[in-house]
Amino acid sequence: MRAKLEAVTPHLNERQRRILYGAEARQLGHGGIAAVARAAGVSKGCVSRGLAEFDAGVEPDERVRRSGAGRPALADKDPGLVPALLELVEDSGPLAGPRKT
């Protein structure tokens, strides 16, 4: 199983890997979660989440994580950031010419 997982998982995204782990655990039955976790080198929680997604019949989706995950955009946190960066870029662009000091 380890060889199969090592061959396949580099081609999958995070969600697809979890579902694969869950499917493998389901096939193995009792003790499958621990066996897959050991073979894949991931936590039992990762395999358990994959098993839950597999059992729920989750539809294929382009998203890897739930919406809203991740950090908020810096531009949302600091409204002055984008104008300040644009000003820097305009001042240092290739057409701006040499700086006068």
Q: What is residue 96's three-state secondary structure?
A: coil
pLDDT at position 66: 65
Distance of CA 71 to the CA centre of its chain: 13
Give pTM, 2 decimals. 0.60
Sequence spans of domains, the chain = 2-56
Distance of CA 1 to the CA centre of its chain: 24
Q: 47 near 40, Cβ under 8 Å? A: yes
Is 18 exposed, middle or buried (CB count within 10 Å of its CB: 0-12, 13-18, 19+)? Answer: buried
9-64, pLDDT tens digit by residue?
899 888 899 999 999 999 999 999 999 999 999 999 999 999 998 888 877 766 66
Alpha-carbon span 71 to 52, nearest angstrom: 26
Q: 37 near 46, Cβ under 8 Å? A: yes
In the structure, what pLDDT confidence band is assigned to residue 97 with cuts at 50, 70 and 90?
low
